[in-house]
Amino acid sequence: AQKVTQAQTEISVVEKEDVTLDCVYETRDTTYYLFWYKQPPSGELVFLIRRNSFDEQNEISGRYSWNFQKSTSSFNFTITASQVVDSAVYFCALSEAFIPGTASKLTFGTGTRLQVTL
């Protein structure tokens, strides 16, 4: 069975600090996809990134960066110079093995609530 663990329930930082959100996953599949989503107070989940298991390159998008390490089954998310608008719950998710022609189910972690204050 697949599992995603986000051990940090809640993190509080002061604006401009860097913060890393941890994500550890378990799967027996050799091919899989990982995702990060942001859930602001409005409730709607916003897609941030999708990464497949064959691509271990780190990715940077503005103040966001992701570190994928297959050896430790981790896909951590770092926000550089955090801002108040980054306050949200962040979810890491893992797709099950891909079967052509079928919808892909996601397994979500329990989320990390990030609070950024002035």
Judged by CB under 8 A, the residue of 87, 111, 114, 116 near another protein is 111
**Using rule CB under 8 A, residue 105 touches another protein:** yes
Local structure of 70: helix, strand or coil: helix
Return the range that interacts with another protein (CB under 8 A); candidates 15-23, 59-67, 70-78, 104-112: 104-112
Phi (first) and psi of residue 70, to 5 degrees: -65, -35
Return the residues of window 34-53 that contact another protein according to CB under 8 A: 35, 37, 42-47, 50, 52
Contact 112, 10 (CB under 8 A): yes
**Using rule CB under 8 A, residue 24 touches another protein:** no
Comparing CA positions, the residue from 14, 6, 30, 1 lying closest to residue 115 is: 14
Opening angle at CA 103, ends 52 and 50, nearest 5: 25
Q: Give residues in contact with another protein (CB under 8 A).
A: 4, 9, 33, 35, 37, 42-47, 50, 52, 91, 95, 98, 100-106, 108-111
